[in-house]
Amino acid sequence: MIFRQLFDSVSSTYSYVLASRHGGEALIIDPVLDKVERYLKLMEELDLRLVKAVDTHLHADHITGLGALRDRTHCVTVMGEQSKVDVVSMRIADGDRLTIEGLSLDVLYTPGHTDDSYSFLIGDRVFTGDTLLIRGTGRTDFQNGDSRAQYESLQRLLRLPDETLVFPAHDYKGDTVSTIGEERRFNPRLQVPDADEYSALMAALNLPNPKMMDVAVPANMQQGLHQEEVARRGWAYSAEAARGLVGKADVALIDLREKAERERDGAIPGSLHAPYADLQDNIDEGGLIHELALSGKTIVFYCAFGERSAMAVQAAQDRGIASARHIEGGMAAWRTTEGGALGQGAAGYRPTRSS
C-alpha cells in the first residue's frame, strides 16, 4: 500500500493519501484547500490518479480541499450520509465500504465531535478524524456535537485490536501516530468509567471557538458549482421531467453510481450501469456511451445527488457527445417525485445549506 501522511501547519491538520498500484487509483482523506497544489504534485510524482476525496466530517478549522480537488481531478467527493455539504457526490453510511482499486476501507459512523463524523479502518490502521486524537478527543461543544455519542464512538474504536495504528485528523503537539492500546492506557480523556463522567469532563473544557470557524464552516458547506453551470447551459433535466424519459427508445439513462449505492437506494428502471470511475473509457471512441450516442440516443446521466452526473455531462460534452444531459439532484431528487409527491422540489433539489 502507498501511504502518505501530509501536514497543514496552519490548522494542524493531517491529510492522508492512500493507493495501491496497478492503474494508480488514489484516495485522500481530509484534504486542506491551501495544500491542494501539493497533493496534486505528489500525485504526479507518484504517478497516481486521485479518484476519491473524503472528509471525515464537516471541518470548522480549515477550508476543505474537496471542491478544488473535484474541479482539478474530477474525483468523487465523499462524506457521510448525515452531511449537508453540497460538494458531496457520494454519501456513505456505517457498515459501507469505501473502495478504490486494490483498497477497501471499512466505514465506521463515529458521531460525537459532530453528527457527521466518520472513521475509516483499513488493515492495521484506523483514520479517526476528530473522534479520537492522540492523547485527546475532538471537542463536542458545537456543530451538533454530543459528548455521550462520542463516548460510545470511542468505546467502539477502543474495541479494535490494541496494535491498530491511530491516524487522527489533527495533532497540535507534534505527534503523528499512536495505537489503540496506547490511547486506551494513556489518553487522559479515556480514563473515565462511563458516559456521565466523560460528558462532565467534556463540559468543563470551556474552549474558545476555532479562529477559522466563521469562515470555514460556511465555505465548507457550499462547494458545489457544477450543477448550476450545467443547468445554465441547458444540459439538465429535473427529476420530474426525467420520469417522462423512462422507456423511451431514443434515450439511454446511465447510472454512474457504484454497485453498493444501487443496491442500497435502487435504480431508475431500464437504466444502464456504467460507474463514474470508468467514465473516460466509456465516453472515448469505442466506449459504451460513445457508441450509444453515435446510434442517435440522448445520453442522460444520473448519480446519487447530481454532482458526479454534472461532471460526466461536462466530460461527455468536451468529448463531443452533444446529446449528453443529466438528472439534476440525482436519485435523491428522483425519489422526491415518487409516491404522489410529483414535482415537489424535484427540479430545485439541493442538500440543505442553512443548518
Write phi, then psi, for 71 (nearest 5 degrees). -65, -40
CB of 170 to Fe ion, least distance (A): 7
Per 3-state DSSP, what percentage of the chain is helix, strand, and coil (rounded to 5)?
A: 30, 25, 45
Q: Which stretch binds Fe ion (CB under 5 A): 7-15, 126-134, 156-164, 191-199?
A: 126-134
Burial of 310 (0-12, 13-18, 19+ CB in 10 A): buried
Which of 116, 130, 171, 307 is in the footprint of Fe ion by CB under 5 A?
130
- Least Å distance, CB 29 to Fe ion, is 13
> Judged by CB under 5 A, which stretch of 46-54, 123-131, 239-247, 282-290 contacts Fe ion?
123-131
CB-nearer residue toward Fe ion: 218 or 320 = 218
User: Candidates 42-50, 127-135, 277-285, 332-340 — which segment interacts with Fe ion by CB under 5 A?
Assistant: 127-135
Give the footprint of Fe ion on residues 287-316 (CB under 5 A). Answer: none
Three cell numbers written together for 105: 476501507
Distances (CA, A) of 116 to 81, 99, 131, 148, 248: 8, 20, 11, 15, 40
Residues 53-112 touching Fe ion, rule: CB under 5 A, are none
3-state SS class at 183 = helix
Q: CB 73 → Fe ion: shortest distance, Å?
A: 24
Beta-bridge partners for 179: 165
What is the full DSSP assignment across 192-232?
Answer: -SSHHHHHHHHHT--PPPPTTHHHHHHHHH----HHHHHHH
What b/e string do you get for 84-121 counting C-beta neighbours within 10 Å, with b at 16 or more?
ebbbbbbbbeeebebbbbebebebbbbbbbbbbbbbbb
Q: From the CB of 111, what's the least distance to Fe ion, in Å?
A: 12
The residue (of 86 and 130) whose beta carbon lies closer to Fe ion is: 130
Cell of 340: 404522489
Q: Closest approach of Cβ 130 to Fe ion, in Å?
A: 4
Nearer to Fe ion, 210 or 345 (CB): 210
Nearer residue to Fe ion within complex by CB, 130 or 328: 130
Is 117 or 282 the residue whose CB approaches Fe ion more closely?
Answer: 117
Looking at the Cβ atoms of 207 and 249, the one nearer to Fe ion is 207
Distance CA 117, CA 95 (A): 14
Nearest-approach distance from CB 13 to Fe ion, in angstroms: 9
# residues near Fe ion by CB under 5 A: 1
> Minimal distance in Å, beta carbon 139 to Fe ion?
8
- Rounded to whole angstroms, what are the CA distances from 11 to 32, 172, 325? 9, 9, 40
Looking at beta carbons only, is 130 or 183 nearer to Fe ion?
130
Q: Where on the chain is the footprint of Fe ion (CB under 5 A)?
A: 130
